[in-house]
Structure 1
Amino acid sequence: MPEGPSIVVFKKRLQRFEGETVTESGGYNNPFADSISGRKVVSVETYGKYLLLDFKDFLITVHFGLFGSFLINESKKVNTSFSLFFGEDHINFYVVKIKKLQKDHAFDQEINVFSKKYKLEKTKKFLLEKYGDKRIGDVLLNQDVFPGLGNIIRNEVLFLSKIHPESTVEKIPSKKMKELLQTIKEFSKASVELIEQKIWKSSSSVYKKKEWEDQEVLEYVAPKIKRKTYVVEKVQKIY
């Protein structure tokens, strides 16, 4: 499933259609074709793992799941689940799910690291109040707290912050927690360029690696979230 930085890359590719009017909309998984056709794309934004298409009076959210993709002015041999035509140009989405939401739908951009409205202290407070007794390695995949954060970012930021994923949230020192949240913000944004260069996964420190600077990278599956976890135990401290 694409993580938040990948969705930002998608957004950058699709922003060329901002201000353009949809001449036709289709797709086998698109019950909103009549509402979309004839409407102008005001903006293309993201929230977590969602692509947001703003049509002024409503939003269309696009979720890519495990196998979703899209092509611009190209087609696959399979049917599109969602399509947008702009005269001679078109976008074909495959294996995606879409929803239509009213513009007043609350996406809390203050916990979205890709938003200019992001507030680190708000995330920290929310994390401690609601998930203080949970393991940090589990909570990092909770989309209510960390929209867009996936398993690659989870493993990398914990390593870079020298925090073991089995650490209890409320036991992590305040300064160290702030460091982790800042690392999440910086790493997530830096990942966009690495994805565009197609070197994101290959440039990782511990994700799917066997060793780091002659230190063994321990691989195991976190029991609660069932996700692969990579740890350098001599570097990452358990709190």
Structure 2
Amino acid sequence: MPEGPSILILKEKVKQFKGDKVIAASCNNGTLDTNILTDQTIIDFKTWGKHFLICFPKFTIRIHMMMFGTYRINSHTEKPPRLHLQFEDGELNFYACLLQLIEEPLDEVYDWQADIMSDKWDTKKAIKKMKDIPDLLACDALMDQHIFSGVGNIIKNEVLFRSRIHPESVVAAIPPKKVKEMITEAIMYSFEFLEQRKEGTLKKHWQAYHKKECPRNHVPFINKDTGRSRRASFYCELCQVKY
């Protein structure tokens, strides 16, 4: 599943179409009436975590890449795209993604302060949200898009390893200083992820995700599905403390 930094890269790649008029559009599963897109001008592209937002004057199209979503810019595959947008000088195609029409103002739909890579990110608000959920585990906290929008399983694993926190730690039991460290690492690593993804070196820098051995203690990592979502966690029982 593309994480927040990858969606920011998508936003950068499609900026050429800002201000362009859609001359034709199609959706291969009927979840979106693409007639409303024809002759509409894109006024902006935005992101909120893993959500890619194509903004038109009176509505927005939300695209969520889910687990296997992909896109093509000025090219296409043989497989019909979930969403096709044709412009006078190019095209956008999105595959295996979830589409949603948003007619409300985006400020009423999204909490921009929850986006880990946004200038509006609010650490205090994230801490309060975590405190409001009894027995919340660290692995679930980081994957909760209402708290850490944009964080996915790669970022979760790398952040917990960096901050030396066991994924099944109860957040309420983690010392406040350590919680702030986890949040700081989440922000820092998200931006490192962005640069490494651009360079094509992301996997080279992984310390925990899909690794077999702890680089600190040189003992086997535990590979276990943890939390409510049962997503894979890779962790060291020696250096990642379970609170």
Read off the aligned partner of 1:62 and give its amino acid letter: I
In the TM superposition, 1:92-103 aligns within 5 A as: 92-103=93-104
State the aligned residue count.
238
Q: Is the 8 A contact 2:116 2:151 kept in 1?
A: no
* CA distance in 1: counterparts of 2:134 and 2:18, whole angstroms: 41
Could you tell me how far 1:151 is from its partner in structure 2? Answer: 0.9
Partner deviation per Cα, 1:46-76 (whole Å, 9 max, x = no partner): 1121100111221100111222111111111
* CA distance in 1: counterparts of 2:29 and 2:10, whole angstroms: 20
In the TM superposition, 1:89-168 aligns within 5 A as: 89-104=90-105, 105-129=108-132, 131-168=133-170
* Residue 25 of structure 2 corresponds to residue 25 of structure 1: yes
Q: Is the 8 A contact 2:76 2:93 kept in 1?
A: yes
* CA distance in 1: counterparts of 2:146 and 2:166, whole angstroms: 22
Could you tell me how far 1:119 is from its partner in structure 2? Answer: 0.8
TM-score normalised by the chain length of structure 2: 0.92
Could you tell me how far 1:223 is from its partner in structure 2? Answer: 5.8
Q: Is the 8 A contact 1:56 1:103 kept in 2?
A: no
Alignment correspondent of 2:179: 177
* CA distance in 1: counterparts of 2:64 and 2:230, whole angstroms: 22
Long gaps (5+) in structure 1? none
Alignment correspondent of 2:207: 205
* CA distance in 1: counterparts of 2:179 and 2:138, whole angstroms: 10
Runs of 4+ residues over 6 Å off in structure 1: none
Alignment correspondent of 2:80: 79
* Residue 233 of structure 2 corresponds to residue 229 of structure 1: yes
* CA distance in 2: counterparts of 1:9 and 1:37, whole angstroms: 26
Worse-superposed segment, 133-142 or 56-65: 133-142
In the TM superposition, 1:38-49 aligns within 5 A as: 38-49=39-50
Read off the aligned partner of 2:76 and give its amino acid letter: S
* CA distance in 2: counterparts of 1:16 and 1:86, whole angstroms: 11
Could you tell me how far 1:39 is from its partner in structure 2? Answer: 1.4
